[in-house]
Amino acid sequence: MGSPLAEGVLKQDVRAAARLMRRLDDQQPDAEQALRELYPHTGRAWILGITGSPGAGKSTLTSRLIGKFREQGKTVGVVAIDPTSPFSGGAILGDRIRMQAFEGDPGVFIRSCATRGAMGGLSRSTSNVVRVLDAFGKDVIIIETVGVGQDEVEIVSAAHSTIVVTVPGMGDDIQAIKAGILEIADVFVVNKADRDGADRTVRDLQIMLEMNLNHDIPWRPPIVKTVAAKGDGLDELVEKLEAHHAFLRQSDRIAKFNRERIRREMLDALRSRLLDAAAATIDAEGGMDKLIDDVDGGKVDPFSLAESLSGKILAK
Amino acid sequence: MGSPLAEGVLKQDVRAAARLMRRLDDQQPDAEQALRELYPHTGRAWILGITGSPGAGKSTLTSRLIGKFREQGKTVGVVAIDPTSPFSGGAILGDRIRMQAFEGDPGVFIRSCATRGAMGGLSRSTSNVVRVLDAFGKDVIIIETVGVGQDEVEIVSAAHSTIVVTVPGMGDDIQAIKAGILEIADVFVVNKADRDGADRTVRDLQIMLEMNLNHDIPWRPPIVKTVAAKGDGLDELVEKLEAHHAFLRQSDRIAKFNRERIRREMLDALRSRLLDAAAATIDAEGGMDKLIDDVDGGKVDPFSLAESLSGKILAK
């Protein structure tokens, strides 16, 4: 153990953790060294994912869940995934402000991930933050998405227990669930369940689940009605989540989960190294603008150019 | 010119085009050679993007647009992007079925892209299909997304003219637009405009546009009300789209657009070559399962493993 950043995280120094997360995003070598040193100290946290359409009340639900876990004496880390944040206006900022209820609580650590740019950047950034929170000793880590993009769904589905949130009266929303996120839900939440149509939404979800039930997995995703703004249904939600966690631990699913997590982290790290090498070669060839000039001027097509660059980047 | 696939496409042979698209998805060398040969024959098509929430009526709008362009005597290619299709049920299939109205029309070519898997696979697959349709001689190419994931938004925003579709009464939907896709819209459509609240939605959009107007770009995205199911508002929509196209051609934006397209295609092709090399090295090291065993057993952490693999993959 030599890294002061890693030592700081293990001593539960909040500033060291925040600094390490920032430096990991900037791909600083000392941060990557710290992550390696922290690695053996991770694997203990319970990782929850929360996804669903914009406006479904995910942030309110997340802050209620934080409250419940804090009542149980558990410490909580939150990763808010917001890949679109360079564009985002007041709405998302408002969501974040609600979280400030926990600002003075040392048992809660909240971090936003908004890395755009390189493919896989968001996934890598998120799993790094989760690892750091895990090493820090957080009992529960909640990954909350702002939207329901494919990247975000993939990241959230990598949680131990994934909550998919919908609201009454969004027929289209159910369609969206059908199209992409039905299979990743371990627990469904129908939030704003004091609105008209809540029971109908529950029934629609039930029918969809019946039709799509995977009989190889002996877990039937429960559907919980909540009114997150009032705190209604939160006890039942926590109970169902804990039942899912118990189910994971009983079976060998935790082991499978850990292997998948290793695979993803390794590939994200590898991909980022390959892309760095590509960027360096493009620079050495005169930079992207010059290469585009060559194609634009008819000297070469983009596909032949990619082949010649890969010949310079790769070992053989 | 040696590739029979490329020759077939230039002769407007539909089967050759479909076969080339399939073989490009499978990364067959003969297909990649054909794409290189076709490259100088591309750059003529007008590329439209259509995105918006599930249920906003994008498919109906797309088929109405096809009808309008066909009335003008233009040929049309459609790329339907559906990254979640492995999960998808009846809803999306239903959308596709509506397109069958054009099945007997040789002036219309429809292709779905659903490549998951490797990062960037969807973008690469889409731009390949667009290039083939372009070389084939289609006057207009419409890229339609099923969802509004980040990947899809990025792909659609690469069109010459991008339509963002919303429907009345979706306050949350407007939030979603705010959060991510406001800046990519060249034309807004409020579809299902015979529903209550259409004018309010238009007004909300107008306010949002005022607040976010980029004064560096002398194009103010118009808002068009449509009832795609009845064909209402389609003439106005086509007119606004054509105005945007004229705007692009007057300014130097078409040139910028072409450079961006070259950059993206080159990087997608390069990325795919690098990932192939990574896969080959992982196989040579005993395969992914064995590598995960090493990490799982505590021999190495995922980040050090990525570094050692990249040392074998890269030239230096």
| Cβ under 8 Å to B: A residues 217-256 | none
* Cβ–Cβ < 8 Å for A142, A79: yes
CB B314 within 8 A of CB A43: no
DSSP string, chain A: ---HHHHHHHTT-HHHHHHHHHHHHTT-HHHHHHHHHHGGG-S-SEEEEEEE-TTS-HHHHHHHHHHHHHHTT--EEEEEE-TTTTT--HHHHHHHHHGGGGTT-TTEEEEEE---SSTTHHHHHHHHHHHHHHHHT-SEEEEEESS--HHHHHHHTTSSEEEEEE-TT-HHHHHHIIIIIGGG-SEEEE-STTSTTHHHHHHHHHHHHHHH--TTS-----EEE-BTTTTBTHHHHHHHHHHHHHHHHHSTHHHHHHHHHHHHHHHHHHHHHHHHHHHHHHHHTT-HHHHHHHHHTTSS-HHHHHHHHHHHHB--
**CB atoms B274 and A310 under 8 Å:** yes
Q: Would you state the pLDDT for residue B252?
A: 82
Helix or strand holding residue B145 (H, E): strand B140-145
Q: Using an 8 Å CB-CB cutoff, list chain B residues near A40.
A: 298, 301
Closest Cα to residue B48, out of B130, B135, B126, B161? B161
Predicted local distance difference test score (pLDDT) of residue A272: 86
Q: What is the pLDDT along chain A (316 residues), one digit of tens a residue?
A: 589 999 999 999 999 999 999 898 888 889 999 999 999 999 999 999 998 877 788 889 999 999 999 999 999 999 988 755 433 333 344 445 545 667 678 889 888 877 554 445 677 888 899 999 999 999 999 999 876 666 677 778 779 999 999 888 765 555 555 556 677 889 999 999 999 889 988 988 888 788 766 667 788 899 999 999 999 999 999 999 999 999 998 888 888 888 988 998 899 889 888 988 999 999 999 999 999 999 999 899 999 999 999 999 998 6
Q: Chain A contact for B54, CB < 8 A?
A: yes
CB contact under 8 A, B298 and A270: no
CB-neighbour burial class of residue B316 (10 A; exposed 0-12, middle 13-18, buried 19+): exposed
Which residues in chain A are closer than 8 Å to B53, comparing Cβ atoms?
A: 172, 176
Interface of B with A in 62-101 (CB under 8 A): 83-84, 87-89, 91-92
Q: Locate B90 and state its tokens.
A: 């009846």
pLDDT of amino acid A80: 87
Q: Is B148 on the interface with A (CB under 8 A)?
A: yes
**Which of A53, A171, A313 shows the shortest C-beta gap to B314?**
A313
Judge whether A310 is closer than 8 Å to chain B, CB to CB.
yes
Predicted pLDDT of residue B152: 72
- Phi, psi of B169, deg, nearest 5: 80, 10
Instruction: Write down the pLDDT at residue A95.
Output: 44
Residue A118 confidence (pLDDT): 45
Q: What is the pLDDT of residue B111?
A: 84
pLDDT tens for chain B, 316 residues long, are: 589 999 999 999 999 999 999 898 888 889 999 999 999 999 999 999 998 877 788 889 999 999 999 999 999 999 988 755 433 333 344 445 555 667 678 889 888 877 554 445 677 888 899 999 999 999 999 999 876 666 677 778 779 999 999 888 765 555 555 556 677 889 999 999 999 889 988 988 888 788 766 667 788 899 999 999 999 999 999 999 999 999 998 888 888 888 988 998 899 889 888 988 999 999 999 999 999 999 999 899 999 999 999 999 998 7
